Amino acid sequence: MSLSSFMQPDGRNLSKAGITLLMAPFFMLIGIAFLYPLISLLSISVTEPELGFQNYERILDTPVYGKVLLRTLWIALLVSILSLFLAFPVAMAMVSSGGAMAVFITACILLPFWSSVLVRTAAWAVLLQRNGIVNDLLQAIGIIDAPVRLLYTQGAVVVAMTHVLMPFMVLPIYGALRNIPQDYGRAAAICGAGPLRGFIEVTLPLAMPGVLGGFILVFLTALGYFITPALLGSPQEMMIATLISQQLREFLDWPFAAALVGVLTLFVTAITLVFSRVFRFDRMLGGQV
Amino acid sequence: MKTTKRAALLALAVLTAGTAAKADEIVIATTGGLMRNEMEQWFYLPFAEATGTEVIPFDIEVPDQWARAEGMVRTGQVEFDIVTATGPDLVGKADMLVDIPCDTLENVKEYALPGACQPKGIARTTGGMVLTYNTETYADNPPDSWADFWDVETYPGPRGLPDTGDRDWWLPTVALLADGVAKEDLYPLDLDRAYAKLEEIRPHIAVWWKTGNQVQQIMRDNEIAMTMAYSGRALKVIQDGSPFAMAWDGAIRDTGYLAVLKDSPNPEGAMNFINFFYGAAEGHPGFIQAVGYATSSTIGLSQLPEEEQKLYATYPANYELLVDPDFEWIGANRDELRERWTNWLLQ
């Protein structure tokens, strides 16, 4: 086969064969490292200890597992909403400020990426412990008399997860905002819209693809989050990823853990589908520039 | 280019050498940190010196270790020789373990305390799941029983309990003690009564600790004022100068056993090590002092000064205060105990 068969006749673009060849390593990686293990794990959930759905029935029959799932969805939602409200102003500041300031903000956003999640989570543990900085400060300024429990609470989990996941919200919103031509804002002002109305009717709709993209990224990542809830939460904050790991590593119940993975996969798929519909709907209304 | 080639050859040589040496090594899985380090210093290295068999330590918490072992059995690639087993494991994991030839290992016959050598495992170290409290917080009126742990009026302060190891029967056991059940009437456990009592203390538990390192950390950081702790871990914190003390009444006897996995790569080396462990008199005092747990060899704890022996679970006056768990019952009811625990804790 000569080199030319990977090219279109015009000699500039890749032919179908060329594209397939270039994509092959990627699809092989996905197949071997992701799809195969996932499918073989999911098959355990319906074939062991015997053929059938008894592992799934156990999830439905035991209220506590539903509770963990609901809690996982709730924490993921809280984290996404909190990230959104923190990230939007930051993204706007990045777009509107130029030069050194923009570089500085970008660095602040990206810097945490250079340290491991474990380190960032452990830092929160140091801040929030009973004799930690936050408790000392609150006592010093007289808000509380004795140390309060901050560590190993739902609040600790949500705050730390928001901190870790916020960059995934900032970057897509920043991308969307930067693509809005400045003329639009000026046009809105000329037509008589105040800053607030201009924001609500022009900037926000145009930024929606970024908002939704960031939201889904943060939400789905939070759903499967493991290390932060495991280190900063108590068992009462246990999320589904920790539950799966516990079933696998401690109780050695592979089929049941596989069933929990099945349920989580189902939720993630369903949510992705719903979001992508909303996404396209939004484009139809002209949200995309 | 030439250098790369040479480096590759060298790497290959090292790899091959590693394979060749495999016959003369054993892999021992224990919890990491203190236990691994001290076993290595007092027993693994002397053992290698005496017999030429290298010991490869593997750091892992016990529940994770069984998960790993189960996976190894599944795939037919057993990599651990000696594993760490708790009392219930000797019943629950019996079909993964080989019999210990108590009658043919010479040093075991000679030096093992009565009851130390069980069919499926042999005592490594004995301690207790003990009530540990801050002596500054409770300077005037120290707590001395699980009933006091539950008494948040008289003894206010954040508390810690384990969410690791065998908490699924440890905690119902101490809850029943706190509720007034006598030590000898504990088993079979009345789980409804135990969980009703656990429900009372739940809002006061600031930390559900996950590892031995973590329980030491929450003691040092004053994250809690009272906690259940491995006695050896607590002892270390006390010896390091933190203001803590132990209340032995109702502490749960906790023996860590050495057990040998079926189809392990070097079972002979494993048995040799067990024999060496019971006979190496010079290793025991230093080891006991370092880990804070007494071994079950008669040449062990007795080498320490009388005053110091009192800090250990196997010291006679402490030993009679301990709860002696009914492992047959616990082993037979393990699934129910686990299920009950998980469902309660996650609520």
Quick: pLDDT tens for B103-122. Answer: 999 999 999 877 789 999 99
| Shared domain check, B190 and B47 | no
Q: Which of A64, A129, A251 sits opposite B346 (nearest CB)?
A: A64
For range B222-251, the mean pLDDT: 92
Query: Treating both helix axes as pointing N-terminal to C-terminal, what angle do A36-47 and A54-61 enclose, rounded to 10 degrees?
Result: 80
Helix (H) or strand (E) holding B256: strand B244-260
Task: For residue B260, name the pLDDT band (cuts at 50, 70, 90).
Answer: very high
Establish whether the linkage from the previous residue to B188 is cis, with ω within 30° of 0.
Answer: yes
Q: Residue A234's closest chain B neighbor by CA?
A: B208
Q: Where are the domains of chain A?
A: 56-284
**Of B121-125, B193-197, B235-239, which range is least confident?**
B235-239
Q: Which of A68, A69, A129, A242 to mutate to test the interface with B (most CBs of B within 10 A)?
A: A129
Q: Tell me, what amino acid is at B275?
A: N
Q: Which of residues 223-252 of B touch A (CB under 8 A)?
A: 223
| Shared domain check, B244 and B164 | yes
CB-based contacts of A82, cutoff 8 Å, min separation 6 = A158, A162
Residues in A touching B343 (Cβ below 8 Å): 62, 64
Higher pLDDT, A12 or A246: A246
Asked if B317 has any chain A CB less than 8 Å from its own CB, the reply is no
**Of A17-26, B41-50, B305-314, which range is least confident?**
B305-314
Quick: pLDDT tens for A45-63. Answer: 999 888 889 999 988 888 8
Quick: pLDDT tens for B25-45. Answer: 999 999 888 889 999 999 999
Write down the pLDDT at residue B215.
94
**In A57-178, where do the E strands start and end?**
none
Q: First and final CA of chain A: distance in angstroms?
A: 43
- Of B209, B211, B226, B145, which Cα lies nearest the Cα of B180? B145
CB contact under 8 A, B222 and A130: yes
Average per-residue pLDDT in chain A?
A: 86
| Chain centre to alpha carbon of residue B5 | 48
Using a cut of 0.95, tell me whether the model's pTM lies above it.
no
CA of A271 vs chain B CAs: smallest distance (Å): 25
Average per-residue pLDDT in chain B?
A: 89
Q: Which residues of A touch B (CB under 8 A)?
A: 62, 64, 67-68, 129-131, 149, 151-152, 234-236, 238, 243, 246, 248-252
Q: First and final CA of chain B: distance in angstroms?
A: 62
Dihedral angle at the C-alpha atoms of B130, B136, B138, B141, nearest 10 degrees? Answer: 110
Residues in A touching B347 (Cβ below 8 Å): 64, 67, 236
Asked if B138 has any chain A CB less than 8 Å from its own CB, the reply is no
Q: Residue A240's closest chain B neighbor by CA?
A: B346
Quick: pLDDT tens for A248-273. Answer: 887 778 899 999 999 999 998 998 88
Does B317 reside within a domain? Answer: no
CA of A132 vs chain B CAs: smallest distance (Å): 9
CA of A272 vs chain B CAs: smallest distance (Å): 28
Write down the pLDDT at residue B19.
43
Write down the pLDDT at residue B153.
95
| Shared domain check, B58 and B108 | yes
Give the C-alpha separation, A241 to A264, whole Å. 9
- Just give the CATH number of A56-284: 1.10.3720.10
The domain in which residue B80 lies consists of 2-126+255-312
Does B318 reside within a domain? Answer: no
Does B115 reside within a domain? Answer: yes
| Shared domain check, B265 and B144 | no
| Shared domain check, B337 and B277 | no
| Residue B252 backbone dihedrals phi, psi, to 5 degrees | -90, 125
Task: For residue A3, name the pLDDT band (cuts at 50, 70, 90).
Answer: low
Quick: pLDDT tens for B51-82. Answer: 999 999 999 988 889 999 998 988 889 999 99
Share of chain B above pLDDT 70, in %: 93
